[in-house]
Amino acid sequence: MPRHPREIHRTNRVGWLRAAVLGANDGIVSTASLIVGFAAAGSERHAILLAGVAGLVGGALSMAAGEFVSVSSQADAENADLAIERGELAQYPDGELRELTGIYVRRGLEPELARRVAEQLTAHDALGAHARDELGITHELRARPLQAAGASAAAFASGAAWPLLITALAPLATLASIVTAAWLLALAALGAKVARAGGAPTLRGATRVVAWSALAMAATAGIGRLFGV
């Protein structure tokens, strides 16, 4: 028989991938929108760069803080549930064993087999078994606040650096057009890369990111042109 290939799953990427995608997308869109808005208002290059740098620093720190707080809340909820489960295992081990057996019966095991499985898993790691099968908490998907905050901040700064570099080098007269074109390419590449990392079609990922992000830049450019007096 042919050798079974090693399976590569993507669920272990969920925690950092979501934060990285959100950070990079926001970094590109918000910074490029600021630059296009200031350029549409007729600002000088130093003012545009200053706005972009301020947006990069403030946005990266804001993304990190937001991710840390939100993911910490998730971690607190998980830890609270685990503490409750740990106490119930200490006080009511027989009841918890019956509860675990019932879970496996509902998943399709025969009652006798479900009981044996529950006993073996309880003997091996009772809290881990209940965390996984009762609460849906796994090691791969556990909330990791520092990881999410770091990934989000780094991704935001990386995304924001792209339009800032173009702003420093591109001719001022055509700055808005060049930044917009580069922004579209960067977002399309980001969407395709993220889709590939998540196992989705690359074209759909690129289109989804570009289409929604275009609204932000169009609105900001319109405001800059309207009020740039």
The answer to whether position 125 is within a domain reads no
Residue 94: is its pLDDT beyond 60? yes
The answer to whether position 112 is within a domain reads no
First to last CA, the chain: 75
The answer to whether position 47 is within a domain reads yes
Q: How many domains does the chain have?
A: 1
Structure tokens at 81: 């549930």
**pLDDT tens for each residue of 29-88:** 888 888 888 887 788 889 999 999 999 999 999 988 988 998 899 889 989 999 999 999
The answer to whether position 87 is within a domain reads no
From CA 201, how far away is CA 59, in angstroms rounded? 29
Find the domain containing 173 and state its range: 13-70+160-227
Rounded to whole angstroms, the maximal C-alpha distance in the chain is: 79
The answer to whether position 111 is within a domain reads no
Helix pair angle (145-169, 14-40), 10° resolution: 30
Structure tokens at 225: 């042109």
Residue 25: predicted pLDDT = 81
Residue 6: predicted pLDDT = 57
Residue 139: predicted pLDDT = 75
**pLDDT tens for each residue of 190-221:** 778 777 766 777 888 778 777 777 777 777 66
Nearest CA among 35, 13, 27 for reference residue 186: 27
**pLDDT tens for each residue of 108-148:** 999 999 999 999 999 999 999 999 988 888 876 777 888 88
Residue 157: predicted pLDDT = 92
C-beta atoms surrounding 51 within 10 Å = 19
Quickly state the pLDDT bin for 185 (edges 50, 70, 90): confident
The answer to whether position 135 is within a domain reads no
The answer to whether position 122 is within a domain reads no
From CA 200, how far away is CA 47, in angstroms rounded? 40
The answer to whether position 75 is within a domain reads no
| Dihedral over Cα of 166, 167, 170, 174: its sign | positive
The answer to whether the CB of 24 falls within 8 A of the CB of 159 is: yes
